[in-house]
Amino acid sequence: MSPPPLEIVILAAGKGTRMRSARPKVLHMLAGRPLIHHVLDTARALAPHAVHLVVGHDAQAVAEAVTGSGVTIVLQDPPRGTGHAVGAALANISPEAAVLVLYGDVPLVTPESLAPLVADARAGALALLTVTQDTPDGYGRILRSGGAIIGIVEDRDASPEQRAISEINTGLLAARAERLRAWISRLRATNSQGEYYLTDVVAEACADHVAILGHTPRTPEETLGINTQAELAQAERALQRRQAARLLADGVQLMDPARFDLRGSLVVGRDVVIDIGVVFEGEVVLEDEVRVGAYSILRNAYVGRATRIEPHSLIDEARVGANAVIGPFARLRPGTNVGEGSHIGNFVEIKQSEIGAGSKINHLSYVGDSTVGARVNIGAGVITCNYDGANKYRTAIGDDVFVGSDCQLVAPVTIGAGSTIGAGSTITDDVPPGGLTLSRVPQKHVPGWRRPAKKV
Ligand code: UD1
Ligand code: CA
């Protein structure tokens, strides 16, 4: 006989008042992604038959955030408590299924910690995830008698003796659908909040003599619930530590795992070194032997083998080939592709441009909408004037060109291969290959000229 199917219910109908934000709570960002996406990942890792997301407050925004993920949306309108929320989802769930309840605002729980609950539920028990913590304030307390779990009391409904209990309810539980349905139908909203508490199913299970089994997560941080910005910040650090540990285990040299932020995915080769304060966003790939300098930001970027990103550089939707040096203080904007062995130095901004292999743009330049060939040298302060106030134009620079310092290349313009542009030139017409081109006001000298004297 095959085991009962697993159905996962994620509760996300609550308001999240304590975040003090206009944004629905489960859409707040953790490591660059909405809280609810983290919970969905965890749910999917358990290979459920279906995932049911209960929405209420800001239902539309929350539902939109999960479009395309294949989850069933359940509208709980109005939200009348966690028990009522699970009851709404059960309407779509077959009686023999094992049901696992997750919270949209408990994003760090791992599939490994949840697997035992699923197994217990399949076997007919009510399984709870609980933790013992020094500061249990605000959480439901686990009531035990002779070691066995007999109920949960909410913090605000608890007596002083019950408040002293340090074992708390994480809210996550699992049981067979038919049992949950029966227990939920017996719930009463006779508590301080006038809500149907899911936690009260524990007393019902106890009355029905169903086994109630408690499990603890692998690490206590897993069950951190996000109710405030402070808790969100705490979860962010915990998740970053977890990601950093994974990279260290993969052989990355992270100069300080506490000063590392990954908001997306990072694929690394061997012997990669990441200095402090680096932020990775979106999808980033670092090939073997890449070094990333302190306080750089890489967003949707590819960095080729043995390339050095010097401190304070920003690489945004750009690619850099092997053996290149970028920065310090370089800015590569979307659509930039820097070739192998190129050097892009301080205060250089490059946008939507191809830079050929072995080219150097080392100081204070702007290169936009350009195609730059191989072995080109662009001097300090060179500007491609790509915008006339209405339209953008391209600049094409051939191989082996030398552009002297402080030139303006007014696009559309083509600079022929091997040509040299004298410093200080404003180039408005196409330049043929080879030779020297310059547009410079001739230098004057006034002999015997005297500086004005101050009038008395
Ligand atoms: C709940 C538990 C408490 C536990 C704590 C752990 C109950 C009654 N209490 O308290 O024992 O220690 O979580 O974090 O269950 N939600 C709905 N519909 C509703 C109400 C809530 O979907 O009608 C969702 C919320 O969006 C949230 C989750 O359920 O994701 C928990 O609700 P919340 O109000 O935060 O419960 P707590 O008071 O924290
Ligand atoms: Ca909560």
Residue whose CA is closest, atom 33 of ligand 1?
14
**Average pLDDT rounded to a whole number, residues 221-248:** 96
Domain with 367, as residue range(s), is: 229-437
Active site residues: 363
- Cα torsion angle, 55, 58, 59, 61, sign: negative
Find the ligand nearest to 15 CA: 1
Is the domain of 219 the same as that of 326?
no
Of 82, 130, 155, the residue with max ligand 1 atoms within 8 A of its CB, to mutate for a pocket test, comes to: 82
**Cβ–ligand 1 contact at 82 (below 6 Å):** yes
Which of 223, 241, 258 corresponds to the end of one domain? 223
**Cβ–ligand 1 contact at 261 (below 6 Å):** no
**201 lies in some domain:** yes
Residue 196 makes CB contacts below 8 A (sequence gap 6+) with: 80, 81, 82, 83, 84, 87, 184, 187, 188, 189
Burial level of 149, CB count in 10 A (0-12/13-18/19+)? buried
**Cβ–ligand 1 contact at 79 (below 6 Å):** yes
Tokens encoding 33: 């992604």
**137 lies in some domain:** yes
**Average pLDDT rounded to a whole number, residues 351-370:** 98
**445 lies in some domain:** no
**454 lies in some domain:** no
The CATH code of the domain that includes 378 is 2.160.10.10
Flag whether pLDDT at 400 surpasses 80.
yes
Is the domain of 66 the same as that of 202?
yes
**165 lies in some domain:** yes
Is the domain of 207 the same as that of 234?
no
| Nearest ligand 1 atom to alpha carbon 154 | 11
Residue 226 makes CB contacts below 8 A (sequence gap 6+) with: 19, 25, 28, 30, 35, 105, 106, 107, 232, 235
Beta strands 325-326 and 33-34 are unpaired
Per-residue pLDDT tens digits for 63-77: 999 999 999 999 999
The CATH code of the domain that includes 129 is 3.90.550.10
| Nearest ligand 1 atom to alpha carbon 79 | 23
Is the domain of 246 the same as that of 277?
yes
Q: How confident is the model at residue 334 (pLDDT cuts 50, 70, 90)?
A: very high
Separation of 99 CA from ligand 2 center, angstroms?
Answer: 20
Is the domain of 242 the same as that of 384?
yes
Flag whether pLDDT at 1 surpasses 80.
no
**Average pLDDT rounded to a whole number, residues 27-37:** 98
Distance CA 332, CA 343 (A): 12
Tokens encoding 213: 């089994």
Which of 223, 248, 265 corresponds to the end of one domain? 223
Is the domain of 240 the same as that of 210?
no
Is the domain of 181 the same as that of 298?
no
Q: Which one, of 129, 131, 111, lies nearest residue 40 by Cα?
A: 111
**1 lies in some domain:** no
**451 lies in some domain:** no
Tokens encoding 310: 């010097």
Q: What is the pLDDT of residue 15?
A: 85
The structural domain count of the chain equals 2
Is the domain of 193 the same as that of 318?
no
Residue 75 makes CB contacts below 8 A (sequence gap 6+) with: 55, 56, 59, 88
pLDDT over 70 percentage in the chain? 100
| Nearest ligand 1 atom to alpha carbon 170 | 6
User: To the nearest whole number, what is the mean pLDDT of the chain?
Assistant: 97
- Tokens 């993920």, residue? 69
Is the domain of 109 the same as that of 234?
no
Residue 262 makes CB contacts below 8 A (sequence gap 6+) with: 31, 32, 240, 243, 244, 247, 280
